């Protein structure tokens, strides 16, 4: 019967939304069986749990969402379905999607990473067009990781075993860093020569272009005003090659990502030298993004979670001293102040931060500049008292662990400390001076999202300035929080189908029986009559096996990210009613009604031939008959 209406159906199909065209492009050249195999070998709870802690919540696990800012966890991980979904921002999907979004890497890279984690070799189909660039980037990152690992080892051997590292060894010993500690942190030494590292690396077979891409050596025409005056005698060697070492005569601190791979270095001069920076960091590379890494995090993760508090110090040596003295919940921002990205990472581990910055002006500036990012991420900020002329390193070595812990426990709320500082030299009788301070303070208060905390801060400041709380509150500018999702509401609405279709999607994804039932129906015919059936068609035409979470992951991996968001949400809903026949019946009725409407419209058109009219009348009667049959009590509807 449906067969006679090809023209009408074509009309209906043409009006549907376009299907995702580039699943294959997302999968790259990796066969879908391999994707399934990799999914099966990587438990999503373990994988996500290796990035940040997950708490058990019934059959699922939950955490604060890493993709948007929140105070109560709405990020759920389902071990049975091997999916995640955030009910706050809507992000969700398979284990692959998590790694893509969390690590900001492309899909094939995430697949390869998870394959490596599980010891699976990925054999790729050759010759994918457009994959060339991605492939080259991935290979470059691989080579750079290997180079960094070997470089860290070479620097470390210079420091620990070689004559060239003697002065550096002595210096570190004077700062309480023993050989054992230096080895634990893989500290190293870069000789004070122009081409020591470069010639070693070339002898190991590294290409000069890769060495330059790593930031460990610089091309000759890069100007380097800080280095040009130093080591005049070594300049002859520099002329011999087209490049020279970035790090010369420095103690080398490897900077690791949160899984402990070396991705950059920070080099410290042994003694202050005029015109040269005390600390020199790697430039941004394919591996290293400044402001996105916290020094020490790979080692202090667990302690941070247990303490629910991060002790933040400025330098690497401070951090190592604290850690080695037994204060292990420590991190250091690379550079001077916290970035928004670093604060967001930290918020996944702790709710509170104690700043242990130097008492000097630079340290105070760093503390102040860190504040906005920390407050924006709803972190409670306190400031530990560090006496002038001391730093956490000297302090913990002189006073010991217990005394330092007391400093942390006694650390004052940042606002108390800061109100006092801002108002210390303030003449409260001068209205203009008072207004100026009030405006400065109000700007920072605007970053406090928590209403209780904000109210408290406002009342403290207004009391200190002797103005009314409401007058001060009026000065606080409104901050606009950036939304996490780039997906337009329009696209979402287009994708989200009406209730019955959504229900059938859920059932088809969660129950083998429902999936089979629907596939046994003439579903293409029915769905072609209805709007918003895109997902249901995708699900039914896929080979997904709902009881097999790896197959589910492979199916999710074939979707566009925004589609994956929506489907992962369905998978994480509470168990829906499990009758598939009822919503399916309603869908069939809707399809028939729609055809009936179209036929009735057509029969009113002018200039129809008698034959047309007769055909349409037949069609209408036929459709009415079918609708009538479907409306009978259960048992007769489905053929």
313 SS3 class:
strand
Interior/surface letters 607-628, b for 16+ CB within 10 angstroms, e for the rest: eeeeeeeebbeebbebbeebbe
With CB under 5 A as the contact rule, which of the stretches 42-50, 85-93, 385-393, 613-621 interacts with Zn ion?
85-93
- 112 sits near Zn ion (criterion: CB under 5 A): no
CB nearer to Zn ion: pick between 88 and 392:
88
- 88 sits near Zn ion (criterion: CB under 5 A): yes
CB nearer to Zn ion: pick between 45 and 131:
45
- 67 sits near Zn ion (criterion: CB under 5 A): yes
Q: Give the chain's length.
A: 639
Q: How far is the CB of 102 from Zn ion (least distance, A)?
A: 12
- 39 sits near Zn ion (criterion: CB under 5 A): no
> Distance between alpha carbon 588 and the CA centroid of its chain, in Å?
43
252 SS3 class:
strand
Q: Are 250 and 267 in contact (CB under 8 A)?
A: yes
Residue 189: beta bridge partners?
Answer: 251
Nearest to 309 by CA among 366, 349, 356: 349
CB nearer to Zn ion: pick between 48 and 65:
65
Site for Zn ion in 118-177 (CB under 5 A): none
CB nearer to Zn ion: pick between 68 and 344:
68
- 65 sits near Zn ion (criterion: CB under 5 A): yes
Q: How far is the CB of 74 from Zn ion (least distance, A)?
A: 6
Q: How far is the CB of 97 from Zn ion (least distance, A)?
A: 13
CB nearer to Zn ion: pick between 268 and 348:
348
With CB under 5 A as the contact rule, which of the stretches 82-90, 273-281, 297-305, 393-401 interacts with Zn ion?
82-90
Q: How far is the CB of 481 from Zn ion (least distance, A)?
A: 13
Q: Are 179 and 245 in contact (CB under 8 A)?
A: no
Q: How far is the CB of 88 from Zn ion (least distance, A)?
A: 4
The CA-atom distances, in angstroms, between 361 and each of 333, 339, 371, 392 are 18, 19, 16, 16
Q: Are 395 and 318 in contact (CB under 8 A)?
A: no
Q: How far is the CB of 91 from Zn ion (least distance, A)?
A: 5
DSSP letter at 262 equals E
Rounded to whole angstroms, how far apart are CA atoms 616 and 610?
10
Residue 45: beta bridge partners?
Answer: none
CB nearer to Zn ion: pick between 88 and 198:
88
Joined tokens for residue 93: 């999907």
Joined tokens for residue 476: 């606080």
- 68 sits near Zn ion (criterion: CB under 5 A): yes
* Total number of residues that touch Zn ion (CB under 5 A): 6
Backbone angles phi, psi at 365, to 5 degrees: -65, -40
- 92 sits near Zn ion (criterion: CB under 5 A): no
With CB under 5 A as the contact rule, which of the stretches 57-65, 217-225, 441-449, 573-581 interacts with Zn ion?
57-65
DSSP letter at 548 equals -
Joined tokens for residue 550: 């790896």
Q: How far is the CB of 572 from Zn ion (least distance, A)?
A: 12
Backbone angles phi, psi at 372, to 5 degrees: -60, -45
- 89 sits near Zn ion (criterion: CB under 5 A): yes
Rounded to whole angstroms, how far apart are CA atoms 539 and 555?
8
CB nearer to Zn ion: pick between 65 and 343:
65
With CB under 5 A as the contact rule, which of the stretches 59-67, 112-120, 232-240, 546-554 interacts with Zn ion?
59-67
With CB under 5 A as the contact rule, which of the stretches 60-68, 102-110, 133-141, 617-625 interacts with Zn ion?
60-68
Nearest to 185 by CA among 283, 290, 296: 296
Rounded to whole angstroms, how far apart are CA atoms 522 and 537?
12
Q: How far is the CB of 496 from Zn ion (least distance, A)?
A: 18
- 86 sits near Zn ion (criterion: CB under 5 A): yes
- 523 sits near Zn ion (criterion: CB under 5 A): no
Locus of tokens 């190293």: 188
- 76 sits near Zn ion (criterion: CB under 5 A): no
Rounded to whole angstroms, how far apart are CA atoms 484 and 491?
16
Backbone angles phi, psi at 129, to 5 degrees: -75, 150
> Which is it for the CA torsion 236, 237, 241, 247, positive or negative?
negative
Q: How far is the CB of 485 from Zn ion (least distance, A)?
A: 8
Rounded to whole angstroms, how far apart are CA atoms 278 and 452?
42
With CB under 5 A as the contact rule, which of the stretches 21-29, 63-71, 262-270, 418-426 interacts with Zn ion?
63-71
With CB under 5 A as the contact rule, which of the stretches 25-33, 87-95, 178-186, 573-581 interacts with Zn ion?
87-95
- 347 sits near Zn ion (criterion: CB under 5 A): no
With CB under 5 A as the contact rule, which of the stretches 19-27, 84-92, 337-345, 590-598 interacts with Zn ion?
84-92
- 66 sits near Zn ion (criterion: CB under 5 A): no
Chain positions contacting Zn ion, by CB under 5 A: 65, 67-68, 86, 88-89
């Amino acid at each position: 019967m449906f067969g006679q209406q090809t023209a009408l159906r074509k009309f209906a199909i043409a009006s549907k939304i376009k299907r995702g065209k580039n699943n294959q492009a997302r999968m790259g050249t990796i066969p879908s069986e391999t994707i399934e195999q990799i999914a099966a070998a990587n438990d999503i709870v373990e994988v996500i749990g290796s990035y940040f802690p997950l708490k058990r919540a019934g059959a699922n696990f939950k955490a604060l969402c890493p993709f948007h800012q929140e105070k109560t966890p709405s990020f759920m991980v389902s071990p049975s379905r091997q999916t995640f979904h955030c009910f706050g921002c809507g992000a969700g999907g398979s284990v692959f999607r998590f790694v893509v979004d969390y690590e900001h890497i492309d899909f094939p890279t995430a697949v390869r990473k998870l394959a490596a984690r599980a010891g699976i070799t990925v054999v790729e189909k050759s010759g994918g067009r457009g994959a060339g660039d991605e492939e080259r980037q991935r290979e470059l990152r691989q080579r750079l990781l290997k180079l960094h690992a070997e470089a860290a080892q070479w620097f470390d051997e210079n420091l620990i075993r070689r004559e060239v590292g003697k002065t550096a060894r002595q210096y570190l010993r004077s700062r309480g860093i023993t050989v054992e500690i230096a080895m634990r942190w893989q500290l190293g030494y870069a000789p004070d020569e122009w081409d020591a590292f470069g010639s070693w690396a070339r002898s190991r077979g590294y290409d000069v272009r890769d060495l330059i891409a790593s930031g460990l050596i610089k091309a000759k025409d890069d100007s380097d005003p800080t280095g040009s005056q130093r080591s005049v005698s070594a300049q002859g060697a520099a002329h011999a090659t087209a490049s020279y070492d970035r790090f010369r005569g420095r103690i080398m601190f490897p900077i690791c990502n949160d899984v402990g791979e070396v991705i950059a270095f920070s080099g410290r001069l042994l003694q202050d030298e005029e015109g040269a920076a005390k600390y020199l960091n790697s430039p941004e590379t394919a591996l290293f993004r400044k402001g996105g890494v916290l020094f020490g995090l790979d080692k202090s993760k667990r302690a941070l979670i247990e303490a629910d508090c991060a002790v933040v110090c400025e330098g690497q040596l401070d951090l190592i001293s604290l850690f080695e003295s037994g204060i292990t919940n420590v991190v250091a921002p690379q550079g001077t102040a916290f970035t928004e990205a670093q604060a967001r990472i930290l918020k996944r581990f702790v709710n509170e931060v104690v700043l242990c910055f130097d008492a000097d002006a630079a340290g105070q500036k760093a503390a102040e500049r860190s504040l906005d990012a920390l407050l924006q991420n709803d972190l409670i900020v306190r400031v530990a008292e560090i006496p002038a002329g001391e730093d956490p390193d000297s302090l913990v070595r002189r006073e010991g662990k217990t005394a330092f812990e007391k400093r942390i426990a006694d650390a004052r709320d940042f606002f108390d400390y800061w109100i006092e500082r801002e108002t210390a030299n303030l003449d409260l009788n001068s209205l203009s001076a008072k207004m100026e301070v009030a405006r400065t303070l109000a700007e920072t208060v605007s970053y406090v999202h928590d209403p209780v905390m904000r109210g408290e801060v406002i009342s403290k400041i207004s009391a200190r300035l002797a103005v009314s709380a409401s007058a001060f509150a009026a000065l606080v500018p409104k901050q606009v929080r950036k939304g996490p999702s780039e997906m337009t509401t329009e696209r979402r609405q287009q994708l989200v189908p009406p209730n019955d279709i959504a229900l059938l999607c859920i059932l088809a994804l969660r129950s083998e029986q429902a999936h089979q039932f629907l596939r046994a129906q003439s579903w293409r015919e029915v769905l072609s009559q209805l709007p918003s059936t895109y997902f249901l068609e995708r699900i039914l035409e896929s080979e997904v096996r709902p009881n097999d979470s790896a197959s589910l992951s492979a199916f999710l991996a074939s979707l566009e990210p925004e589609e994956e968001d929506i489907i992962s949400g369905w998978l994480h809903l509470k168990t829906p009613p499990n009758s598939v026949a009822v919503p399916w019946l309603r869908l069939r009725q809707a399809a028939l009604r729609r055809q009936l409407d179209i036929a009735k419209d057509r029969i009113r058109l002018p200039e129809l031939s008698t034959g047309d009219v007769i055909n349409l009348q037949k069609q209408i009667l036929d459709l009415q008959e079918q609708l009538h049959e479907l409306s009978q009590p259960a048992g007769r509807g489905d053929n």
